[in-house]
A and B are shown apart, each in its own frame.
Chain A
Amino acid sequence: MKERTISGTLFDIGNFLFMLFILLLMVFPFIYIISYSLSSPNMLKGGLVLFPAGFTFDSYAKALGDSAVLKGALVSIARALIGPAVMLFFTSMGAYVLTRSDLVGVKFFRKYFVFTLYISSGIIPMYLLMGYLQLKGTFLIYILPGAVSVFSMVLIKTYIEGLPKELEEAAVVDGANDFKLFFQVIFPICTPVFAAVVLFECVNQWNAFIDTQIYNTMSPNLYPLQYVLYNTLNQINSLEQLRDQGQKQMSAITPQTFKMAITVITVLPIACVYPFLQKYFIKGLLVGSIKG
C-alpha cells in the first residue's frame, strides 16, 4: 500500500539530501581524526589534515602494545555488559512501580528519586563512603553506584505511561499479580526504551575511567581499557615534558596524535555494535497481537 505523491517524492529527495549533509558533517571530522592519528607529529603543519602526513602507526602500536590493554578490554566489556543489565533490572522495576498512581506514597517516591538528579554532595564524602562500604578496590564500585539510573527511570516511566492502558487492564482481568504484570506484560513491550537506556549505560560504562582514577588506582587488575589508554596518554605527556626539558627524545607520538588514536579505538566497537542494537528501535509495536 504505497502512495506516491509529488510532494511526498520531493520531500523524500530533500530529506535524503539533508541526511546526506548530516552524514558528511558527522563523518568529516573523523577523516581529520584518523589522518591526524596516522601522521608523524613533526610533519603536522597546522590547519586541516585530510590525509596522513608522514604515515605512521606508532600511536596505535603504543596504545595497543601495552600488555595491560587486553586485560583492560576485558574489564571494560564486563562493565559494559554487567552495568547495563544490573541497571536495567533495578531501574525498570522501580520505573514501573512509579507509573502506578494507586501506590500508597507514590508521589513521595517520585520526588525521592528525581531529586537525586540535582543533589551534589561533593567528592570527599563519596570517597569516605566508598571506603566505609569497602567498595574501594572492587569491581562492584563500577556497578553498584549506578545500579539505579534515575534519568533512565524517568524515561522508562514516561514510555510506559504512553502505552495503551488496555494492556494492563486486560492482564489484571486475567488475575495476574503485579510481578507477572510487569515481567510478562509490560517488560516485553518496552524494548525500544530499554534499548535506549541500555545504550546510554553501555556507553557510560565504556567511557568511564574517572571512578577508576578515584577509587581503584591501586588495583591494576580492575583497570578498564579507557583507563589503560589514559595512563599511556599520561606517560606520553610526561615524555613530551622530558623532551621539552632539553632531553632529546625523538618520538613519533605526541599527546595529540595519541588522543586522536584513542578516539578511533574508542569509537570502533560502538560502530560495530550499534547497528545491531538498532533493530530494537524499529517503528511499530504490534500491540494488537499481544492483546490477542
Chain B
Amino acid sequence: MITKIVRQRYLYAMLIPAVLIVFTFSYVPLFGWLIAFVHYQPGYPLFSSEWVGLQQFKAFFTETNDYMYLLRNTLSINIGALIANLGTAFLFALLLNEIRQRFFGKLIQTVTFFPFFISWIIIYSLSSALFATSSGAINETLVQWGWIDEGINVLGDPTYSWAFIILIGVWKFLGYNSVIFISAIASIPSEFYEAAQIDGANRFQRMWHITIPNLIPTLIVLLILNSGWILNSNFEQFYLFTNTTNWEKMEVLDIYIYRYGLQLLNYPYATAVGIMKTVISLIIIVSVNAIAKKSTGKAIF
C-alpha cells in the first residue's frame, strides 16, 4: 500500500492542490451550519450564541402543509426542464454536426449562445411583448386574423405555466448546454467514421451507431449531475414569472424559502433549509449514481 502510494506520488502531487482549494472554499465554510442551531445575531460571535437545537427544522416541517404543492411544482418543472434541456441540446448538437456548410454551422453555434446572456428581467419584457393577453404581438395578430376571440393568457393562466417556463429555459440555455455535446462529438476518432464508411454505412447508420453511442456517457453524466439540483430553482426566473394568477402552478420551494427566510432576515431558518436540501441532494445523487452504475455501467463516482 505505502509503496503504491509512493509510486503514485506524481498523481497525488497533481491532485492535492485541487483537494486543498476545494477544502478551503467548500468544506471550511460549513462551520456556518451552526447558524441553524443557535439564536443567531449577526455581529455576535457565532460560537457563543445561545443554542436552540433543532427548533428551525421542526418549524419547517410543522408550520405548513404547503409543501405538497411546492414539491409538486418544483419537481415537475425541474424534471421537465432537465429532460427538455438535455434532450434538445443533445439533438441540436447531433443535427449541427450534420450541417455541411462550415460557416453556417459556426454562425448557428454562435447565435444560439446569445440568449444565455439575456437577463431574466429582459426575457420577461420580451415575453410580455409577445404573449400578453391584450397587448402581446402574437395574441393581437391571432385575434386580428380571427383565429381566436380572446388572447391566450400564457403568462397568467396556470394551464400553460409549466410548459411555458420549461420552453423559455430551453430557448435560453440551448446553446450553452449543447457545447458539452459538441465537444463530446469532437472526441470521436475520425477513424471510426472512415471505417464505417468503408463498411458501407450510410449517414443515418453512422449517426446511430457511432455518434449517438459516443454521446451517451456524457448524457448520463449530465443527468446524474443535474439530478442533485432537482430541488433548486433559478430564483430570478421564478420571482419574475410567478404572479398572483398562476402561483398555484409556479410557486417553487426556493421562492417559499426566500419569502419565509431571507426576506424576513431569518438566517437560521434559511440555513436549516440549506442543510436539509444538501442532505436530500446528496441522497439523490448517490442513489442515481448507483442506479446508473448498475444499469449502464456509467457513473461519476
A contacts B directly (C-beta below 8 A): yes
Residues of B within 8 A of A91 (CB): 18
Nearest A residue to B18 by beta-carbon distance?
A: A94
Shortest distance from the beta carbon of B56 to any chain A beta carbon, whole Å: 13
How many residue pairs, one in A and one in B, have C-beta atoms under 8 Å apart?
275
Candidates A117, A145, A287; contact of B228 at CB < 8 Å: A117
Shortest distance from the beta carbon of A188 to any chain B beta carbon, whole Å: 13
The answer to whether A173 has its CB under 8 Å from any CB of chain B is no
Inter-chain CA distance A35–B233, complex, in Å, is: 31
Stretch touching chain A among B59-67, B110-118, B243-251: B110-118
A-contact bits for B160-192, CB 8 A (1 contact / 0 none): 000000000001001110011011111111110
Interface size class of B (residues with CB under 8 A): 35 or more
Shortest distance from the beta carbon of B297 to any chain A beta carbon, whole Å: 11
The answer to whether B146 has its CB under 8 Å from any CB of chain A is no
Residues of A within 8 A of B22 (CB): 112-113, 116, 148, 150
**Quick check: A125 and B31 within 8 Å, CB to CB?**
yes
Given A47-B137, A97-B11, A200-B179, A19:B122 Cβ within 8 A: no
Residues of A within 8 A of B188 (CB): 283-285
**Quick check: B282 and A147 within 8 Å, CB to CB?**
no
A-contact bits for B106-149, CB 8 A (1 contact / 0 none): 11111111111111011001100110000111001000000000
**Quick check: B114 and A119 within 8 Å, CB to CB?**
no
**Quick check: B282 and A29 within 8 Å, CB to CB?**
no
Nearest B residue to A287 by beta-carbon distance?
A: B189
Shortest distance from the beta carbon of A87 to any chain B beta carbon, whole Å: 10
**Quick check: A15 and B10 within 8 Å, CB to CB?**
no
The answer to whether A252 has its CB under 8 Å from any CB of chain B is no
Residues of A within 8 A of B301 (CB): 107, 110-111, 114
Candidates B117, B191, B203, B277; contact of A11 at CB < 8 Å: B203
**Quick check: A122 and B99 within 8 Å, CB to CB?**
no
What are 16 A-B interface contacts by the 8 Å CB criterion? A12-B98, A15-B98, A26-B114, A47-B140, A48-B130, A91-B18, A94-B18, A110-B300, A117-B229, A128-B32, A129-B24, A129-B29, A200-B179, A259-B121, A263-B117, A278-B109
